[in-house]
Amino acid sequence: MTVIKIAKPYRSAVGIMLLNKNAEVFVGHRIDTKSEAWQMPQGGIDWGESPEQAVFRELWEETGVVKDKVTILRESDDWFHYELPPYLAETLWRGRYRGQRQKWFAMQFNGTDSDINIQTDRPEFNEWKWAEPLKLPEMIVPFKRDLYAAIVEDFKPLLLSLTQKA
């Protein structure tokens, strides 16, 4: 008997590069890890939801920032993918996915730091800070470093123009 193993699908998701007036990026430290990993807000796209609808929901759920405090500067042309390490793929999202395919959005944050509240209904971060965009790949968990490098590269022209204005 031949056993055919079918690869698990990717979970559809969005990611947010939230930029302040100094062209720094919001990063949060996840509640569920003790490592020194910091990440940008991200999360799954719910059934029937567009990426743009999901990005505003995720922004609110993870940072407490409301839609009228941001401006979308750019949406990635492509979807970015990452694979979960095997030990996570078996447990995360009930083992249904191999990783995520993400649509990323660069957003200008038009509020003040006091508009950010990570103590949401279901907090994901226990602290947050502003970070230099080029340092993002070294701040994230190892299995997402290539993803973050690709996102930074994709948004680099935008980041450079914002840095010159800051």
| Cα–Cα dist 117/64, whole Å | 5
Asked if residue 2 has pLDDT above 80, the reply is no
Reported in sequence order, the residue ranges of the chain that DSSP labels E, i.e. its strands, are 10-19, 25-30, 38-39, 42-44, 70-75, 80-83, 99-109, 125-131
Per-residue model confidence as pLDDT tens digits over 114-163: 999 999 999 999 999 999 999 999 999 999 999 999 999 999 999 999 98
Alpha carbon distance 140, 155 (integer Å): 17
Give the CATH H-level superfamily of domain 10-165.
Nucleoside Triphosphate Pyrophosphohydrolase (3.90.79.10)
Higher confidence at residue 102 or residue 3?
Answer: 102
Q: Which amino acid is at 107?
A: M
- Work out the angle at residue 19's Cα, subtended by the Cα atoms of residues 111 and 52, and round it to the nearest 5 degrees: 85
Q: Tell me if 27 sits within 8 A of 38, measured CB to CB.
A: yes
As a whole number, mean pLDDT of residues 44-59 equals: 97
| CA angle (47, 51, 55) in 5-degree steps | 105
